[in-house]
Amino acid sequence: MRSTFNLIIPTLLVFTFFLVTIQISQALIIPSTPAPTPIYRPTPLPTPPAISSSKTCQQISNEYGTWHQVQWGKADKILQDVWAAKKCNTYPDDKGDSNYNWSCQKISDTNGTYPKNWSRTTDIVMQEIWIRKSCTTVPSNSKTCQQISNEYATWPNHSGKADANVQSLWAAKKCNTYPDDKGDSNYNWSCQKISDTNGTYPGNWSRTTDKVMQEIWIKKRCITIPVEYSYCKSSCKDFLKTYSGPEIK
């Protein structure tokens, strides 16, 4: 009995010491600091470019081939924003980009273009320039009004043999010429030739029944008489006796 008691006492002492040691150790342990929670800071957005430019609308059109409701040309996004902010409505003029600085006359001379006839102007952009500029030019090397009259027997209100293109050119040039002696073989009649061929003289058509020929006579204000009086016999002589107008050639 005593020996059992003596065994229990040391065991209790050891157990008590172990518990005390554990409590002291826990009291001495410094709690660890938790890792801080990261604060969310959004990445700042890049500063948008200022919508300003020293370039005028016309300069943008000229330098970048830009114009209202047609195309941006070579303008980048920033210039497009500048264009929109300034409410530009210009288009390239003669000082602009080499591809779009075409004057009306240059378009006409290069492509043969004139009102109502695109000729070789198949580029939609070039056609837009023509329309926007309200071009009315004709090619510098195009036929003159007199050449058109002579080659196509064309005069005011009479198209002769002129096709639709030539008629458009005639209208664009505002021609009012008539065939002269160098014109088409059917209508290059001089006053004297009409007189000599048909016996015509002022106040007498004789055989000039062709309405076109009569129109030529009137428009040229012919006052000739036949060189050979056999065409009108005594009537020409009688006419000359009473004639008091301009000198008859």
Taking the chain (249 residues) in runs of 10, the rounded mean pLDDT of each run is 59 65 61 63 59 78 80 86 89 65 82 83 77 85 86 82 86 83 63 81 77 79 74 60 55
pLDDT in the model for residue 166:
87
Question: Helices 145-152 and 164-173 meet at what angle, rounded to 10?
Answer: 150
The reported pLDDT for the residue numbered 46 is 58
pLDDT score of 2 = 54
Distance, CA of 25 to CA of 222 (rounded, Å): 141
The pLDDT of residue 23 is 65
* Same domain, yes or no: 147 and 122: no
* Tally of structural domains, the chain: 4
| Per-residue model confidence (pLDDT) at position 191 | 83
Q: Give the pLDDT score at 129.
A: 80
In 112-185, which residue ranges form alpha helices assigned H by DSSP?
Answer: 124-132, 145-152, 164-173
64 & 92 share domain: yes
Query: Does any domain span residue 227?
Result: yes
88 shares a domain with 107: no
Question: Would you say residue 153 lies in a domain?
Answer: yes
Q: What is the pLDDT of residue 8?
A: 64
Query: Does residue 22 lie within any of the structural domains?
Result: no
CA distance 44 to 170: 67
| Residue 203 structural domain | 191-242
In a domain, residue 214? The reply is yes
Written as six digits, the tokens of 159 are 């198209």
Residue 202 tokens, joined: 């002022």
The answer to whether 245 and 223 are in contact (CB under 8 A) is yes
